[in-house]
Chains A and B, each alone.
Chain A
């Protein structure tokens, strides 16, 4: 479980995060939802320690992280797997080396053990047989899969995904979303996904936090998001015609049920 408390962050006087608190549950896919520029990625980077918040704290399973001693922060970071927006695969390494990298750096595994784990992770994300391909030879969806394989390779306890399906076609995006959800439940890890994609919200949103202009305006699940009474959230959700239609169908069904 990851807890954040009163996170504030400003850049050159512009407030990006304004006192955000919340809890991200283990074994659940937690979504940070919001339009572009609302501070989702900054919040994610504050949680993993890539950006230091001006105020506030982050706790990983009861261990204080934000301003703790370096070795404790490092210890926590070694349990973190992260999928970046652009995948962030190491250009100079092939698929196998990318997935092997955290194992080589963070564990005492032998070469054979590392290779077994690499092959297992690649198989888990559906990329068996691509070991020797370079990142430049992969499609966007394959890069995301390698990114997920690299993130889960060292048995991470916390998985962070920054817009995992950006730039992907709807079908591939759906596959990536489902893969993230399956992995979260299978390994009982705490997953936080930054997204502005309503398909992801409906598909995998166990716990959703909606951000608007640096503030948390709403929190709930994919089951009750369509019933929210927050105007900013409704405006965000129903900007999409499909969602408007879905809402109409839902309302129609409700009307028919009502005697």
Chain B
């Protein structure tokens, strides 16, 4: 395990040593960002809307004390969505979608010698292939998390009002109780950390694939598993350190 971690660190170092021209990295980063963003927006929107909706219904179900105002439901849903559900669940969903795609793509390039073809041309394959993916993830993940926050709160609003658990007025006033702007900053910091972990771990798993189609599949699975574990550990550590 330690050997693997060391190899991972050397892999990260290779991203920036003898890097490719900035113009090329920039162009590839934008291409990757479009790919990650466009391909992920639907699943992120779907998951976050339903999570917000379910959170509202379940919090409301547990809110049995008549002395507690109904607006508290909006307050709890807001805290859950902003602090945890939007950044972490979105990242876990993206670990599955983006992580497996990165590992599968790089793994296929590796076993079909496309990575070797780049190296033979004198091109730093990690800088050319991997760095833009990591930069694109750092750029896009926070945007997706912001969308997830908004849609999560909207989902809660729709679920609360449509099912009659609370009025629109109660929900909105709940959302505004003791709002701490730092919580949004904290969620965005987490999304940066998760973006880096997911994209770099998945790239690492894909880049060091050897064998055939079976190993590419295994690399995709390993990328998702390792990324999710890393996200959960980083979630705990960042909550402990930054809150």
- State the A residues within 8 Å of B (CB): 45, 48-50, 70, 74-75, 77-78, 80, 82, 84-86, 88-91, 102, 105-106, 160
- Do A85 and B113 touch across chains, with their CB atoms under 8 A apart? yes
Q: How many A-B residue pairs have CB under 8 A?
A: 49
**Which segment, of B1-9, B60-68, B114-122, B165-173, faces chain A?**
B114-122
Establish whether residues B113 and A78, one from each chain, have CB atoms under 8 Å apart when the complex forms: no
Interface residues of B in 42-87 (CB under 8 A from A): none
Q: How far is the CA of A102 from the CA of B116 in the complex (A)?
A: 13
Q: How large is the interface on B (under 10, 10 to 19, 20 to 34, 35 or more residues)?
A: 10 to 19
Say whether B113 contacts A80, CB under 8 Å: no
Q: A80-B121, A88-B117 are in contact. List 19 more A-B contacts (CB 8 A).
A: A45-B116, A50-B116, A74-B18, A77-B122, A80-B120, A82-B116, A82-B120, A84-B113, A86-B112, A86-B113, A88-B114, A90-B114, A91-B112, A102-B121, A105-B24, A105-B121, A105-B123, A106-B121, A106-B122
> Are A77 and B120 in contact, with the CB atoms below 8 A?
yes
Chain A residues whose C-beta falls within 8 Å of the C-beta of B113 in the assembled complex: 84-86, 88
A91 to B113, CA, bound (A): 11
Contact residues in A for B117 (Cβ distance below 8 Å): 82, 84, 88, 90
Residues of chain A within 8 A of B108, CB atoms compared = 91
* Most chain B CB inside 10 Å of its own CB: which residue of A86, A88, A102: A88
Contact between A78 and B122, CB atoms less than 8 A apart: yes
Give the CA-CA distance A84 to B110 in the complex, in Å: 13
| Nearest CB of A to B41, in Å | 21
List CB contacts (< 8 Å) of B116-165 with chain A.
116-117, 119-123
The proximity string for B residues 175-201 relative to A, scoring 1 for CB distances below 8 Å and 0 otherwise, is 000000000000000000000000000
In the complex, what's the smallest C-beta–C-beta distance from B27 to chain A, in angstroms? 10
Instruction: Report which B residues bind A (CB closer than 8 A).
Output: 18, 20, 24, 108-109, 112-114, 116-117, 119-123
Task: Kindly list chain B residues whose C-beta atoms are within 8 Å of the C-beta of A50.
Answer: 116, 119-120
A-B contact pairs, 5 of them (CB 8 A): A50-B116, A50-B120, A74-B122, A80-B120, A88-B117
Q: Could you tell me the distance between the alpha carbons of A226 and B194 in the complex, rounded to whole angstroms?
A: 64
User: Once the chains are docked, how many angstroms separate the CA of A75 from the CA of B18?
Assistant: 13
Min CB distance, A95 to chain B, in Å? Answer: 15
Residues of A within 8 A of B116 (CB): 45, 50, 82, 84, 88
| Chain A interface SS verdict (over half) | mixed
Asked if A77 and B18 make an inter-chain contact with CB atoms under 8 angstroms apart, the answer reads no
**How far is A37 from B98 in the complex, measured between Cα atoms in Å?**
38
Residue of B nearest to A48 (CB): B120
Give the complex CA separation of A106 and B122 in angstroms.
8
Query: How many angstroms between the C-alpha atoms of A80 and B120 in the bound complex?
Result: 7
Q: Specify which of B18, B24, B119, B121 lies most central, judged by the most chain A CB atoms within 10 Å of its CB.
A: B121
- Distance in angstroms from B179 CB to nearest chain A CB is 45
In the complex, what residues of B have CB within 8 A of residue A88's CB?
112-114, 116-117
Q: Looking at the assembled complex, report how far the CB atom of B124 sits from the nearest CB atom of chain A, in whole angstroms.
A: 9
**Cα distance, A106 to B114, chains bound together (Å):** 17
Complex Cα distance A150/B109, Å?
17
Distance (whole angstroms) from the CB of A109 to the closest CB of chain B: 15
Residues of A within 8 A of B18 (CB): 70, 74
How close is A99's CB to chain B, nearest CB, in angstroms?
A: 12
Bound CA span A74–B20, Å: 12
Measured CA separation A69–B113 after assembly (Å): 25
